[in-house]
């Protein structure tokens, strides 16, 4: 059964749901706008059920997974019902170019401030210590988060030669399987629920590697495998993949780690920075 509204489908199918599925359906019906910004683990905890029960509920309403569920839920909400902020600072809410400019600025500033609030000094210090101790450091991401992983690699490559970013998910999994307890893997994922990310984290954990997660949610399938969790403060609705506020929040965390490592290892970082800068100076006119 499928209509143009996921919420209507849930109503029509309600009598066919199991007791557990009805708990999830009731919560979604009452908190649809908030569910758009919840991880699968957040929703499971809110309903006092297992993650697998949410997966089964998604299939029961005719979708393949949780991300598709949130996308269809967003489409079924009216503008007044959804808590979603549209990409680039709620563009539809701006009546003028000047208003849009201010709205975008405030959205990005708000995301960065929230990230600063969520970022623990202890977590940053522990992560930097792991960077210092690691023999090899990998930055992994899928889709849009891969861009952040690439930027992290580019930044740290200026001051150390033990960093890499592998783009292909299969190659990520292979590298994770060959990792050692002396290696450090950063996995960047907004939702913390991307299957490739979670799969790589599971393999890396089995290999004994250290894992740092950069994600939005305190609880997600990815966080089951992380040694340190660094949380970004930007919301991204299911219809606004590639949010600039999310990227800025992730890059802020990368910049904090870079600067703290540089500060703690000033002499060698300064020397390596000179070497790498000199290596490309001839490329400039």
**Chain segment 11-23, per-residue pLDDT in tens:** 878 888 999 999 9
* Residue percentage of the chain with pLDDT more than 90: 60
H or E segment and range at residue 92: none
Which residue in this structure is represented by tokens 């393949």? 64
Sites in the chain below the pLDDT cut of 70:
1-4, 78-94, 237-242
> What is residue 187's three-state secondary structure?
strand
Which residue in this structure is represented by tokens 């606004």? 240
Inter-residue contact 257 to 124 (CB < 8 Å):
yes
- Domains of the chain are 6-76 (1.10.10.10), 109-281 (3.40.50.10490)
Report the pLDDT value the prediction gives residue 249, as an integer from 0 to 100.
Answer: 94
pTM value is: 0.77
Q: How far apart (Å, rounded) are the C-alpha atoms in residues 92 and 100?
A: 9
Report the pLDDT value the prediction gives residue 238, as an integer from 0 to 100.
Answer: 63
Overall residue count recorded for the chain in this entry:
285
**Chain segment 62-96, per-residue pLDDT in tens:** 998 898 898 888 888 765 544 444 444 454 555 78
């Amino acid at each position: 059964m499928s209509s143009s509204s996921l919420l209507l489908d849930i109503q029509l199918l309600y009598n066919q749901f199991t007791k557990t599925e009805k708990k999830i359906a009731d919560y979604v019906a009452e908190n649809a706008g908030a569910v758009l910004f919840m991880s699968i683990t957040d929703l499971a905890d809110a309903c006092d059920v297992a993650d697998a029960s949410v997966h089964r509920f998604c299939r029961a309403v005719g979708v393949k997974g949780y991300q598709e569920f949130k996308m269809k839920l967003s489409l079924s909400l009216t503008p007044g019902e959804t808590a979603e902020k549209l990409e680039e600072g709620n563009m539809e809410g701006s009546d003028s170019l000047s208003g849009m400019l201010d709205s975008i600025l405030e959205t990005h500033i708000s995301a960065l401030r929230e990230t600063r609030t969520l970022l623990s000094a202890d977590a940053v210090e522990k992560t930097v210590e792991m960077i210092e101790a690691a023999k090899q450091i990998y930055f992994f991401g899928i889709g849009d988060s891969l861009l952040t992983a690439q930027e992290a690699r580019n930044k740290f490559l200026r001051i150390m030669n033990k960093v890499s970013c592998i783009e292909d998910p299969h190659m990520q999994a292979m590298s994770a399987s060959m990792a050692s307890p002396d290696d450090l893997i950063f996995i960047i994922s907004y939702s913390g629920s991307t299957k490739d990310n979670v799969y790589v984290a599971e393999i890396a954990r089995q290999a004994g590697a250290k894992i740092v997660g950069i994600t939005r949610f305190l609880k997600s399938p990815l966080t089951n495998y992380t040694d340190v969790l660094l949380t970004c403060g930007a919301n991204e609705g299911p219809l606004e993949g590639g949010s600039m506020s999310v990227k800025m929040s992730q890059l802020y965390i990368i910049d904090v780690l870079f600067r703290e490592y540089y500060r703690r290892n000033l002499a060698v970082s300064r020397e390596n920075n000179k070497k790498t800068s000199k290596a490309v100076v001839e490329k400039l006119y």
